[in-house]
Chains A and B, each alone.
Chain A
Amino acid sequence: MPTSFRFDTNKCTGCQACRLACTIENGLDLDRSWRSVVTFNERQNPEIPVFHLSLACNHCSDPACMRACPALAYSKDPLTGIVLLDSDKCIGCKYCSWACPYDAPEWDATAGVMSKCTLCDSRLSQGLAPACATACPTGALGVADLGFGAISNEVEGFPRTDLGPSIDIRPLRAGGTAPESSAPPPMRHVASGSRALASRITLRSEWSLMAFSLLAALLFGMLAAAVVAGMSPAPQSFLAVGLSAMALSAAHLGRKLRAWRAVLNVAHSWLSREILGFALFVVFGTTFLAGSAGMVPGLSAGWDRYASPLGWTALACGLLMLISIDRVYDFAIKPVPRLPHSGGALLTGLFLAGILAANPLLAGATGALKLALYIARKAAMSSRAGSVRPGVCTLRIGIGLVLPAVAWALAPASARALVVGTAVIGELLDRAEFYDELEILTPSRQMANDLQARLAGL
């Protein structure tokens, strides 16, 4: 019978015994745990209750972590429903921690892999409840056998998804009201703490991914220029940039020697597709460039027959790669969700193709689209105080779009280096902002959002 967690928001006092019990049971470092307690309305806004959620893995029926994992390290037991992570297969890419909205996978810096709640499967098999549930002093956390009665978990702060999380959450009694107080609320009340919610994706942590994705777009532009416009970049430099980009993307892995596993989940993971697409793109692209330069002896005979299909195949792989790079960030919360990001990999690849192929139509169209998307996004963001940096915007537009356009218009031939250089710098800025602005959904963020909604409704 599948087992699920059961949690009562009325009974939880936020004591953290569950977190410590998990640490002890699993022999984790003393300040690490697979379970966390998050608090709603920490600053006690009047008329809004304070409550906690104690969350670990919810062993979802459709686990996002398992879908996302490029290395097939996750598995779900068909009988118990328990989602397990095989640390011997994990490559330490941390992608599962973006995919899981419940913040369940935990980074183990020592081992360089992720680790997560096992629902204490070994205890369950002995008829014992998980350690966290056993330790809960108030009985707020427990386990329930799934299969009879529908579970419900529609409470504030619990990310609403269609992943089928196996946790039954009892909401607060009486519709979740705060106690009526004899003291008047403060005149200058403070809604939340002064510390902003810590960002989970930062430029500092993801710089290697930024470099990788920008280089991928640049390589796509180079190859497009070769295939479509007949330009002939040196195959050696194309390969060198491709390999460096590969190395960069592997640099952020906890287990670099297992990097090959990253392509195993092509069936479900956009990350696997991205890596596979990139590898094929670099192989076909290098072959195309080398063949075009007459550097591949076996291919020189009848090259004209191969050249075009090979070039277009390489470009198709490149397109798949760029689309996959963008889809990898499907989980992320973009600053303006309805709008494609101006720093998206596909758009950047096409823009750079236009620049490198000296195709004013493509460069102009994609550049104008980028400018429009950029301005629209920043305009939407500026309604949120403090999130737009005018200096960066000016640089991005001035150096990255206006300057190359002007240089191109005035001196199409002699200013090529300037056009390409400034356009690439502009794309670097945009891509950097992409990572800076991205966020992922966590229970803490859901709580902050839901609290905002409550406050707005008062």
Chain B
Amino acid sequence: MVVEIEDGRIRRLEAHPENRATPEGICLKGLSYYERVYSPDRILHPLRKNQGTGEFERVSWNEALDLIVENLERFRVDSGPQSVLYYAGSGTKGLLNGVGMDFWRLYGGCTTTYGDLCWPAGLEATRLTLGDNKHSAPWDIAEARLIVMWGKNASETNIHQMAFVEQALDGGAKLVVIDPRRTQTSERAELLIQPRPGTDGALALAIAGLIIDNRWIDVKFVSDHVLGFERFSASARGMTPERAAEITDVPVAYIHRLAELIGTHGPVTISPGFGMQRFTNSGQTMRSILALLAITGNIGKPGAGWVYANLQSQIFDEVKDPIACYPPGFATAQMGQGGLDENLAVDAEDPVRVSISTALLGQQMLATADPPLRMAWVERGNPVTQNPETHTVLDAFRSLEFVVVIDQFLTDTAREADLILPAKTMFEQSDVIGAYWHPYIQIKQKMIEPLGEVKPESEVYYLLARRLGFDEEALAGRIPGPSDAEIESFLEARLAPFEGLSLAELRKGPMLPPDHQEVAFSNFLFSTPSGKIELYSEEAAARWDVEPLPTFTEPVESLRVQESSTVAGPTEPAVTGAESARYPLHFMTPNTKNRIHSQFNNLQMIRQFGDQPFVLMNPDDAAARDIRDGDLAEVFNDRGRLRLGVRLENGLKAGCVVVTNGWWISEGGTVNFCSIGRETDMGHGAAFHDNMVDVRRVAGAD
């Protein structure tokens, strides 16, 4: 974006005219930085918790750094460096974020996490099938004749995509939305398919079966580029429309219509959402949906494709997601075939112990031994409200002796800190960023001096490293000094290997990465083991203990888990059917346009659009519980409860309730009080959408 400064202060924020992905304007969260940077609630100096009163008190940087160094040295001597947990979330992105891990290696190591809350099951499903996580440039969707938003509400979570979707619709294309909710995105659709949450895989397989039966497949494409079609056909036909209708609650007629549209109305772009791949069965779900594009030849062509993750701009990572977030040993396993299990074991040589699954953060922090955790360092994240099992995560942080949190605001995680360090905003230090939807590499230029006593993380690491006794030589190339010039030369060094890339060039505007494919896979090269699109993946079976073909299994927490014959809980302690059956409602916890997870809603500019959480219910579900619109109710299960107002929505599928995620504990809506830490079937994602609850009216609260 373009940031205009007036008298040293941000005056305007507008879209960069050369970024073709945002041809119109920036989103409201971007605009709200006008307030966010200068918010009176922003933390502008180090804060130390007074152990007596529990209140935070301002301390100097000297005191703060001394306190950290004293603890770091003590823990290293007493328990070894791995007694320190380094937890970095996915806030403020940039090349300088890598400085953190370099510091911890210098320190002697640490314990850290693997996996990711966001989207790894889908990334892994895509990697196993197509070989690479990339998709066509955002504007290519305007060429599609059929757009399927599968479990995605782009109007709220990817608003710039809607500009291109609208172009396609104006040109006569059709939009189909598959979502248990009626959303802003589905308003412009001609068809809204509302399956039971967690059953999209069954829907996709039934559609595949119909496409095959009706010979809507692209025979040439399949024979040239697809591996395992015959075996997949046989398996998909096993999922008859009648069986799928029973599983998904989508009537047979609609499954037929969907199959005909996907089979005959190409080019087809499917843009799947992230929420759908946060179930215990979701890697297989994503493989099933992706198969629809493979068998109809909707890959590698304009207007066609799988718009999930576009990591084409992530050129600086030696290993790309999702592998970059796997425990060590994975890359080795990639090279040498076989012996996967041994390679997945933690490498004892590495001073960094990558042993805690992000999905199971609370449980595994508490269970970590030899050495147990004594300290945590949290940056760019808010694990207390955003990771599964808020109760356990709180217990885990409270069991530690020393917690450092870097943040801009007093989040629920920051409240658990012994020491809070103020975090920069993206305008206060230059950095270079890639993206995951549009293909551009961009510079975030330093526009203003850090407010108050804010120091960027890289400077904090630099100062700590010096206090720990490391000299400039030890830091060289890894931890830059604090001056703007040192930051820029650090960035220049990272850009140097790429011809044509430099800060000077980036200052002129967004740049496409070398070898950018505007239409992804237009060369039909797939970096899978077979070099083809793999519907049948031996790697999937070997690595994740799933069927080599995409198959459907009920999510672990499904009410129908007892009836299903193919339950395969990979590594998880399954919730017993009897227990989950007590909670009849699917708890959906999507994002809203107003926030990115737990960020932004503390700002006045955003709060005016809603300052209290509410639970959306289908009127019939509410009536069955004697609940009316506006009542106060409790959403609950064995794990926790939330108390919040009820809002009835006619378009929400019965059996589902919705609370957007990211509300703070003080606001009463932290959805992860009800979730449980579980991994997805592949990719080490968090399956916290596998979450059943019930709702009851809070009596006497009218």
Q: A residues within 8 Å of B by Cβ? A: 10-11, 13-17, 20-21, 23-25, 30-31, 43-46, 49-51, 131, 134-139, 173, 178-183, 185-190, 193-195
Kindly list 14 other residue pairs between chains A and B, CB separation below 8 angstroms, not including A15-B593, A24-B34.
A15-B159, A17-B25, A20-B34, A23-B605, A24-B12, A30-B604, A46-B650, A49-B187, A138-B162, A186-B619, A188-B620, A188-B623, A194-B628, A195-B630
Smallest beta-carbon distance B397→chain A, Å: 33
Q: List 28 A-B contacts (CB under 8 A).
A: A10-B166, A10-B170, A15-B27, A15-B28, A20-B31, A20-B34, A21-B31, A24-B13, A31-B604, A31-B605, A44-B182, A137-B22, A137-B26, A138-B24, A138-B163, A139-B166, A173-B169, A179-B182, A179-B191, A181-B182, A182-B193, A182-B195, A183-B653, A187-B620, A188-B619, A188-B623, A193-B630, A194-B630
**Across the interface, do A21 and B620 meet the contact criterion of CB distance under 8 Å?**
no
Closest B residue to A192 by beta carbon equals B629
Q: Which residues of B contact A173 (CB under 8 A)?
A: 169-170, 188
Residues of B within 8 A of A43 (CB): 648-650
Give chain A nearest CB distance to B16 CB in angstroms: 12
Distance, CA A168 to CA B33, complexed state (A): 31
Partner of A183 from B15, B156, B249, B628 at Cβ < 8 Å: B249
Contact A182 B629 (CB under 8 A): no
With CB as the reference atom, state the residue of chain B lying closest to A27: B11
Distance between A162 CB and nearest chain B CB, rounded to angstroms: 31
B106 within 8 A of A: no
The yes or no answer to B425 lying at the interface (CB within 8 A) is: no
Whether A193 pairs with B647 at a CB distance below 8 angstroms is yes
Q: Are B608 and A134 in contact (CB under 8 A)?
A: no
Please encode chain B, from 172 to 202, with 1 for each CB lying within 8 Å of some chain A CB and 0 for all others. Answer: 0000010000101111111111110000000
Cα–Cα distance between A25 and B31 once the two chains are bound (Å):
11
Contact (Cβ within 8 A) B654 A183: yes
- Least CB distance, A264 to chain B, in whole angstroms: 35
B312 to chain A, nearest CB (A): 22
**B191, A180: Cβ atoms closer than 8 Å:** yes
Q: Which residues from chain B contact A13 at a C-beta distance below 8 Å? A: 155-156, 159, 162, 184-185, 593
Interface hits, B387-404 → A, CB 8 Å: none
Q: Which residues of A contact B513 (CB under 8 A)?
A: none
Q: How far apart sit A46 and B187, CA to CA, in the bound complex (Å)?
A: 11
Residue of B nearest to A21 (CB): B31
Contact flags (1/0) for B25-58 with A, using CB distance below 8 Å?
A: 1111001101100000000000000000000000
> Chain B residues near A25 (CB, 8 Å)?
12
Query: In the docked arrangement, what's the CA distance between A136 and B193, Å?
Result: 29
A190 and B648 in contact, given A24-B12, A181-B194, A182-B250 (Cβ under 8 angstroms):
yes
Interface size class of B (residues with CB under 8 A): 35 or more
Contact status A17-B187, CB under 8 Å: no
Known: A11-B162, A49-B187, A194-B630. A17 touches B27 (CB 8 A): yes
A186 vs B630: C-alpha distance when bound (angstroms): 18
A173 to B175, CA, bound (A): 13
Q: A139 to B605, Cβ gap below 8 A?
A: no
- Give every chain A residue within 8 A of B620 (Cβ-Cβ): 186-188
- Proximity string of chain B (598-641) to chain A, C-beta cutoff 8 Å, 1 when within and 0 when not: 00000111011100000000111001000011100000000000
Nearest chain-B residue to A187 (Cβ)?
A: B620
A193–B182 alpha-carbon span in the complex (Å): 17
- Taking a contact as CB atoms under 8 Å apart, the answer to whether B604 and A182 are in contact is no
Shortest Cβ gap from A431 to chain B (Å): 33
Which one, A182, A185, A193, A194, contacts B251 given CB within 8 A? A182
Given the contacts A30-B605, A137-B24, A187-B620, A182 and B650 also touching, CB distance less than 8 Å:
no
Contact B192 A180 (CB under 8 A): yes
Within 8 Å CB of A17, what residues of B? 25-28, 31
Most buried by B among A10, A30, A134: A30
- Cα–Cα, bound, A189→B629 (Å): 11
CB distance from B245 to the nearest CB of A (A): 10
Please indicate the chain A residues that have their CB under 8 angstroms from the CB of B649 in the complex: 43-44
**Complex CA–CA separation, A366 to B159 (angstroms):** 62
Counting CB contacts under 8 A, is B254 at the interface? yes
In the complex formed, the residue of A with least CB distance to B608 is A31
- The verdict on A24 contacting B182 (CB below 8 Å), with A43-B648, A139-B163, A183-B654 known, is no
Q: If A13-B184, A180-B192, A186-B619 touch, does A44 touch B159 (CB 8 Å cutoff)?
A: no
Which residues in B have their C-beta under 8 angstroms from that of A185?
650
Q: How far is the CA of A222 from the CA of B698 in the complex (A)?
A: 58
The 4 A-B pairs at the shortest CB distance, nearest first, are namely: A44-B651, A13-B155, A194-B630, A135-B25
CA distance A322 to B281 in the complex (A): 75
Which one of B35, B159, B193, B195 contacts A30 once the chains associate, using CB atoms below 8 Å? Answer: B35
Q: Let me know if B160 is at the binding interface, CB within 8 A.
A: yes
Alpha-carbon separation in the docked complex, A179 to B177 (Å): 9
Report the minimum CB–CB distance from A300 to chain B (whole Å).
Answer: 65
Q: How far is the CA of A139 from the CA of B23 in the complex (A)?
A: 8
B191: chain A residues within 8 A (beta carbon)? 179-180, 182
Closest A residue to B184 by CB, please name it. A13
Q: Which of B208-253 contact A (CB under 8 A)?
A: 249-251
Which chain B positions have C-beta within 8 A of A138? 24, 159-160, 162-163, 166
State the CA gap A136–B250 with chains docked (Å).
36
Taking CB atoms, residues of chain A closer than 8 Å to B27 are: 15, 17, 137
Closest chain-B Cβ to A222's Cβ sits at a distance in Å of: 49
Instruction: Name A182's contact: one of B25, B162, B254 (CB within 8 Å).
Output: B254
Max count, chain A CB within 10 A of own CB: residue among B14, B160, B607: B14
| Shortest Cβ distance from B27 into A: residue | A137
- Measured between C-beta atoms, what is the minimum distance from B199 to chain A in Å? 13
B12 lies within 8 A of A44 (CB): no
User: With A13-B155, A13-B159, A44-B651 known to touch, is A21 a contact of B194 (CB < 8 Å)?
Assistant: no
B15 to chain A, nearest CB (A): 8
**Chain A proximity mask over B90-119: 1 for CB below 8 Å, otherwise 0:** 000000000000000000000000000000
**Known A31-B605, A187-B620, A190-B619; contact A179-B189, beta-carbon cutoff 8 A:** yes
